[in-house]
């Protein structure tokens, strides 16, 4: 793996009684796009601000390129202006009294670069973010999308160690957001940027990131590449936050066909694949998470190994597909199905599960 | 069903609009007489050679006489110079205070802010008196203390001088008001603007210099202009400190003209008219400034404004500096006001039994005091209640957007903002003397209350407008749709929601009516003399100890009322 740029070690941040970040640890590697994904108030923005130096940690240690930049136990705290970070704020924080050029030039001016160098680099970075020709405009006279690019240019102009992005796309309209998402990804690949990205939008997280950390109550629920986090949610929170999940509870049983999970109230059984089955002992209480799109609705008939009986409670027609509220295994949940087959309200059906996509966890 | 509902609804709507139109016309007529006429008299009265109420004789004599008097011109000039000279230190200090309170981790910021708030409401005249007790060349405590030092010859301080006036102004009205205006502005500034600068590599000082102050500069400039204009309207300090030294500003000069025997109404009005023009130009510039193109709209994100600038080792010195300023500028003179009111002969600490209750006893036994107290209470109550009734109605008309005369009403309400108290008093005096109102209002408590109600109009109307706008039409409309009548809606929805604000505004107006000198000073008679004028008379006749007692009494009443107002939850900052 590439060299690690940022190490976040057991960091805690408290506001009075409220623990915003709770002994959180992660490592950010060179050229990596790392996303903190979570609901508002989960501590993701606080984490970003701790990296930027806008908040002081209460415990733990933060290292930049192996050198501590914040360490309460050593009484060490490097202020934000000495950290060589670039940051894009959710509000963009465009200084209204300056032109586009001056906004972007500011980090170079405080670093006392020569006028010629400032001009060269500002024009270059404005070109990169697609704002060439706008440098003389008042910074708040331009559109929201352009302000966003100014903020990005300002953060990139002096080649920061890490680019910190705090929900940068959330103030844009849907179309612009999509466009900026692709541009951001392309830019990151081209400039080999190390990015720490904060968002509550799962599409952004999925499409942009090399790795995602699902954050909840100041802790990581799960960290991994988007594919792993989506396909193998470690917790029901992680599963629910990234897409939709269906959850069953049951107990491990062994019978002639192998290991299976006996669902509550004897409403059916689901067989696990070899890899998962070996991890549990007989009689252990477990929770199964799976994705609704991995469940097939079949007309009533003989139950095969991974089928459970179900009943249609409600049908909604959405034009391109149907949505069924089904009751099975002691739960009601929503499944989508193509228009090819129709089931009416009250119909008895079978649900077929894919054993490879059942994620089993101890309860 | 539907058709019967419409047939019922139509006549109702018409019936409801008609009283509204009537009220609107009444209101316009009232303001036309109460505010339009005094202004007209101020502008035309200067060309009238005969005194008010007599047959009008037109001519330029007043102008010739007023402006061939070199003292009149120098008084105008002095007004500007005084207001300008004291602006700079006050602005620098108040920006610093506001920044420290709102933007840094200075300890005790809330305490400092509260003290600024209290200091703003401490009436200025008793404080001027207190500074006289401290700085008078003959008996002032600081002078006697300094004289006892071996290397000091004579009295080093003299309040009856240009710099004395500047100093006392800085202490009384100087920075408190500006801090109150600036602190919320500093607070509202999105923290991310500063944080972006920090992350970009700028230190605390660079961020303050390159980002915070430039971003706020339009507001700071606007407040400077406003303070300058308010400075021009000042009267009390100049009257008490300037007159003995022969330093006149235009307001004390007007007072001087009216006090002459016979009163020189013409000259006073000519001087007032010139000043009115200058003020109008300044206010126009101010308004241009506020509505100018370069208004910075700052997009603020989620409220992450918790991060404050870390002062490090400067934390405690900063607090110490603010605290010391408050102690010297406010608490020290207050203390001497207390001491003064209990001293047999102020300044003589060495005599036998220097402390006594006699001044307080004599004050409360003085029949003039009791009459003045009664007058003041009547005036202040009428002003407060009348102001609430009048301006809540006006604000409702303006906010409802149904009124056709909104621009006229609005400008009438803003007029007193241009008119300094002394000019308003002069205009109202003309109105009383030249119309039949003379028999009802001239020289009575009602006349004084009338003028004070007028002077309260900008603040009160704006407060009610803001309150009503905040409520939004929805709440009221929802009640109406739910079936409540207009009166029921007013009683159960508007009144409970606006009540606390109305009470707070009322208390504030009550307080300012109690302390105002410049407005009633031309309007009172011996029967209608209020407490504030009595205080003025005590200080003119040299009864400093009794004056200190009375000043202290007024101060205590005002402070107590302002605490009640604050408890009622009125955010005053920015409304003035």
Contact B466, B460 (CB under 8 A): no
> Shortest CA distance to B509 belongs to which of B380, B379, B377, B373?
B380
Beta-strand pair A219-224/A67-71:
unpaired
Q: Give me the interface pTM, i.e. the ipTM.
A: 0.75
| B540 inside 8 A of chain A by CB | no
- State residue B287's pLDDT score: 76
Select from A218, A241, A264 the last residue of a domain: A241
Q: Best of B185, B194, B196 to disrupt the A interface by mutation (most A CBs within 10 Å)?
A: B196
Clarify whether residues A221 and A273 are in a common domain.
no
Average pLDDT over residues A293-304: 87
- State residue A150's pLDDT score: 92
- Domain interval for residue A127: 4-241
Chain B residues with beta carbon closer than 8 angstroms to that of A52? 195, 199
Query: Residue A138: closest CA among chain B residues belongs to which residue?
Result: B294
A26 vs A9: CA distance, rounded Å: 7
Of A80, A81, A91, the CB nearest to B300: A91
Q: Does the pLDDT of residue A193 top 50, yes or no?
A: yes
Contact assignment for A52 to B203 by CB distance below 8 Å: no
B428 vs B437: CA distance, rounded Å: 10
A36 vs A19: CA distance, rounded Å: 17
Select from A183, A213, A241 the last residue of a domain: A241
pLDDT digits (tens, 9 = 90+) for A80-90: 888 888 899 88
Q: Best of A55, A91, A146, A159 to disrupt the B interface by mutation (most B CBs within 10 Å)?
A: A91
Clarify whether residues A213 and A157 are in a common domain.
yes
> Shortest CA distance to A172 belongs to which of A139, A124, A204?
A204
Contacts of A39 (CB under 8 A, 6+ apart): A200, A216, A241
Of B203, B296, B302, the CB nearest to A140: B296
Q: pLDDT class for B573, splitting at 50, 70, 90?
A: very low
B308 vs A262: CA distance, rounded Å: 57
Peptide bond into B262 cis (omega under 30): yes
pLDDT digits (tens, 9 = 90+) for A30-79: 999 999 999 988 999 999 999 998 888 999 999 999 999 999 999 899 88
CATH assignment at residue A329: 2.40.50.140
Average pLDDT over residues A312-337: 88
The dihedral built from the CA positions of residue A78, A81, A82 and A87, taken in this order, carries a sign that is: positive
> Shortest CA distance to B431 belongs to which of B418, B419, B441?
B441
Clarify whether residues A74 and A187 are in a common domain.
yes
pLDDT digits (tens, 9 = 90+) for B83-123: 999 898 899 999 999 999 988 889 988 889 888 888 888 88
Contact A243, A227 (CB under 8 A): no
Chain B closest-CA separation from residue A100 CA (Å): 14
A310 vs A288: CA distance, rounded Å: 17
Largest CA distance in chain A: 80
Q: pLDDT class for A20, splitting at 50, 70, 90?
A: very high
Average pLDDT over residues B512-526: 89
Clarify whether residues A119 and A227 are in a common domain.
yes
Going along chain B from its start, the domains and CATH numbers come out as 26-55+360-576 (1.10.3720.10), 60-296+306-350 (1.10.3720.10)
- State residue B7's pLDDT score: 41
Chain A closest-CA separation from residue B89 CA (Å): 25
DSSP helix/strand/coil, A315:
strand
Query: Would you tell me how many other CB atoms lie within 10 Å of the CB of residue A99?
Result: 17
Clarify whether residues A204 and A97 are in a common domain.
yes
What element of type H or E holds B131? helix B124-135
CATH assignment at residue A187: 3.40.50.300
Q: pLDDT class for B288, splitting at 50, 70, 90?
A: confident
Total structural domains in chain A? 2
pLDDT digits (tens, 9 = 90+) for A274-288: 777 777 777 888 888
Clarify whether residues A101 and A205 are in a common domain.
yes
Contact assignment for A89 to B197 by CB distance below 8 Å: no
Average pLDDT over residues A160-189: 88
Mean pLDDT computed over every residue of chain B: 82
DSSP helix/strand/coil, B134:
helix
pLDDT digits (tens, 9 = 90+) for B57-88: 777 877 887 778 888 888 889 999 999 998 98
- Report the Cα A245 to chain-centroid distance in Å: 16
pLDDT digits (tens, 9 = 90+) for B183-221: 888 887 777 888 888 888 888 888 888 888 888 888 888
Q: B residues 186-225 near A, CB within 8 Å? A: 190, 192-193, 195-203, 206, 210-211, 214-215, 217
Chain B residues with beta carbon closer than 8 angstroms to that of A81? 198-203
- State residue B307's pLDDT score: 64
- Per the model's pLDDT, the better-predicted residue between B563 and A73 turns out to be A73
Contact A337, A322 (CB under 8 A): yes
Clarify whether residues A167 and A277 are in a common domain.
no
Clarify whether residues A165 and A180 are in a common domain.
yes
Q: pLDDT class for B372, splitting at 50, 70, 90?
A: very high
Q: pLDDT class for B472, splitting at 50, 70, 90?
A: low
Clarify whether residues A235 and A273 are in a common domain.
no
> Shortest CA distance to B42 belongs to which of B519, B437, B427?
B427
Select from A241, A259, A292 the last residue of a domain: A241
Q: Does the pLDDT of residue B245 top 50, yes or no?
A: yes
Q: Which residues of B474-501 are buried (b: 16+ CB within 10 A; e: fewer)?
A: eebeebeeeebeeeebeeebbeebbeeb
> Shortest CA distance to B398 belongs to which of B455, B498, B465, B490?
B465
Q: Best of A80, A164, A165 to disrupt the B interface by mutation (most B CBs within 10 Å)?
A: A80
Clarify whether residues A143 and A287 are in a common domain.
no
Cα–Cα separations (whole angstroms), residue B183 to A175, B102, B120, B223, B517: 40, 6, 14, 12, 29
- State residue A163's pLDDT score: 93
Average pLDDT over residues B20-45: 82
Residue that is written with structure tokens 């002394």 in the block: B422
- Per the model's pLDDT, the better-predicted residue between B82 and A265 turns out to be B82
Clarify whether residues A227 and A252 are in a common domain.
no
- Per the model's pLDDT, the better-predicted residue between B346 and A345 turns out to be A345
- State residue B305's pLDDT score: 52
Residues comprising chain A, all counted = 363
Q: Does the pLDDT of residue B363 top 80, yes or no?
A: yes
Contact B75, B249 (CB under 8 A): yes
Average pLDDT over residues A246-265: 78
Clarify whether residues A21 and A73 are in a common domain.
yes
| B295 inside 8 A of chain A by CB | no
Largest CA distance in chain B: 99
What DSSP assignment string belongs to B438-479? Answer: HHHHTTSHHHHHHHHHHHTHHHHHHHHHHHHHHHHHHHHHHH
């Amino acid at each position: 793996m590439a060299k690690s740029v940022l190490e976040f070690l057991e960091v805690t941040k408290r506001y009075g009684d409220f623990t915003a970040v709770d002994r959180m640890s992660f490592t950010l590697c060179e050229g990596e796009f790392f996303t903190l994904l979570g609901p508002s108030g989960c501590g993701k923005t606080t984490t970003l601000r701790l990296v930027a130096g806008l908040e002081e940690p209460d415990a733990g240690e933060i290292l930049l390129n192996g050198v501590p930049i914040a360490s309460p136990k050593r009484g060490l705290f490097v202020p934000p202006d000495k950290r060589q970070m670039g940051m894009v704020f959710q509000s963009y924080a465009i200084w209204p009294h300056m032109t586009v050029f001056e906004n972007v030039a500011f980090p170079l001016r405080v670093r006392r670069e020569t006028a010629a160098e400032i001009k060269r680099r500002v024009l270059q970075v404005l070109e990169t973010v697609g704002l060439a020709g706008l440098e003389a405009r008042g910074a708040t006279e331009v559109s929201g999308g352009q302000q966003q690019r100014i903020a990005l240019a300002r953060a990139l102009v002096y080649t920061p160690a890490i680019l910190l992005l705090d929900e940068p796309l959330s103030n844009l309209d849907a179309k612009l957001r999509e466009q900026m998402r692709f541009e951001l990804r392309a830019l990151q690949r081209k400039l080999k940027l190390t990015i720490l990205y904060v968002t509550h939008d799962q599409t952004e997280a999925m499409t942009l990131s090399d790795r995602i950390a699902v954050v909840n109550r100041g802790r990581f629920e799960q960290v991994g590449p988007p594919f792993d986090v989506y396909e193998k949610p470690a917790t029901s929170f992680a599963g629910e936050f990234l897409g939709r999940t269906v959850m069953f509870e049951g107990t491990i049983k062994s019978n002639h066909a192998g290991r299976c999970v006996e669902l509550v109230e004897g409403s059916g059984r689901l067989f696990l694949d070899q890899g998962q089955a070996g991890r549990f002992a007989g009689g252990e209480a477990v929770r199964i998470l799976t994705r609704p799109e991995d469940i097939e609705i079949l007309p009533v008939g003989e139950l095969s190994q991974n089928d459970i009986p179900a009943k249609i409670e409600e049908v909604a027609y959405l034009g391109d597909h149907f949505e069924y509220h089904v009751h099975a295994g002691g739960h009601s949940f929503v499944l989508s199905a193509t228009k090819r087959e129709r089931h009416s309200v009250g119909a008895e059906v079978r649900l077929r599960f894919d054993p490879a996509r059942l994620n089993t966890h101890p309860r | 069903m539907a058709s019967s509902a419409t047939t019922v609804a139509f006549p109702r709507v018409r019936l409801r609009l008609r009283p509204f139109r009537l009220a609107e016309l009444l209101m316009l007529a009232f303001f036309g007489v109460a505010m339009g006429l005094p202004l007209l008299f101020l502008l035309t009265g200067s060309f009238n050679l005969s005194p008010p109420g007599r047959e009008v004789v037109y001519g330029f004599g007043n102008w010739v006489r007023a402006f061939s008097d070199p003292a009149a011109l120098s008084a105008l000039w002095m007004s500007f110079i005084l207001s300008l000279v004291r602006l700079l230190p006050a602005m620098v200090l108040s920006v610093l205070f506001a920044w420290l309170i709102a933007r840094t981790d200075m300890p005790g910021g809330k305490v400092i802010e509260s003290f600024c708030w209290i200091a703003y409401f401490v009436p200025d005249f008793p404080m001027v008196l207190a500074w006289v007790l401290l700085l008078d060349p003959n008996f002032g405590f600081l002078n006697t203390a300094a004289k006892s030092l071996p290397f000091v010859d004579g009295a080093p301080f003299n309040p009856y001088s240009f710099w004395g006036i500047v100093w006392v102004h800085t202490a009384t009205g100087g920075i408190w008001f500006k801090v109150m205006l600036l602190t919320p502005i500093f607070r509202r500034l999105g923290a991310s603007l500063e944080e972006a600068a920090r992350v970009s590599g700028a230190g605390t000082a660079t961020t303050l210099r390159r980002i915070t102050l430039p971003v706020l500069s339009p507001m700071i400039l606007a407040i400077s202009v406003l303070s300058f204009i308010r400075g021009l309207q000042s009267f009390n300090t100049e009257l008490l400190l300037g007159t003995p030294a022969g330093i006149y500003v235009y307001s004390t000069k007007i007072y001087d003209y009216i006090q002459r025997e016979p009163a020189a109404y013409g000259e006073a009005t000519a001087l007032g008219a010139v000043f009115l023009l200058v003020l109008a130009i300044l206010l126009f510039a101010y308004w241009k400034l506020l509505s100018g193109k370069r208004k910075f709209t700052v997009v603020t994100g989620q409220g992450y404004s918790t991060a404050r600038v870390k002062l490090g080792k400067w934390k405690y010195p900063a607090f110490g500096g603010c605290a010391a300023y408050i102690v010297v500028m406010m608490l020290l003179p207050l203390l001497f006001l207390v001491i003064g009111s209990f001293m047999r002969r102020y300044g003589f600490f060495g005599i036998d039994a220097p402390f006594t209750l006699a001044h307080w006893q004599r004050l409360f036994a003085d029949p003039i005091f009791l009459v003045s107290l009664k007058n003041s209470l009547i005036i202040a109550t009428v002003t407060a209640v009348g102001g609430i009734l009048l301006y809540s109605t006006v604000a409702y008309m303006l906010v409802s957007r149904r009124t056709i005369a909104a621009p006229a009403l609005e400008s009438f309400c803003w007029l007193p903002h241009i008119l300094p108290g002394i000019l308003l008093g002069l205009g109202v005096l003309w109105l009383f003397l030249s119309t039949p109102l003379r028999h009802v209002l001239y020289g009575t408590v009602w006349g004084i209350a009338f003028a004070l109600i007028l002077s309260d109009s900008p603040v009160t109307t704006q407060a009610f407008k803001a309150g009503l706008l905040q409520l939004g039409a929805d709440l009221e409309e929802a009640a109406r749709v739910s079936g409540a009548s207009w009166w029921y809606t007013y009683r159960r929805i508007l009144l409970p929601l606006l009540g606390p604000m109305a009470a707070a505004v009322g208390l504030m107006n009550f307080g300012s009516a109690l302390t105002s000198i410049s407005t009633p000073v031309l309007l009172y008679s011996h029967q209608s003399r209020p407490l504030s004028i009595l205080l003025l008379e005590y200080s003119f006749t040299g009864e400093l100890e009794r004056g200190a007692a009375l000043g202290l009494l007024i101060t205590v009443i005002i402070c107590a009322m302002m605490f009640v107002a604050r408890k009622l939850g009125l955010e005053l900052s920015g409304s003035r």
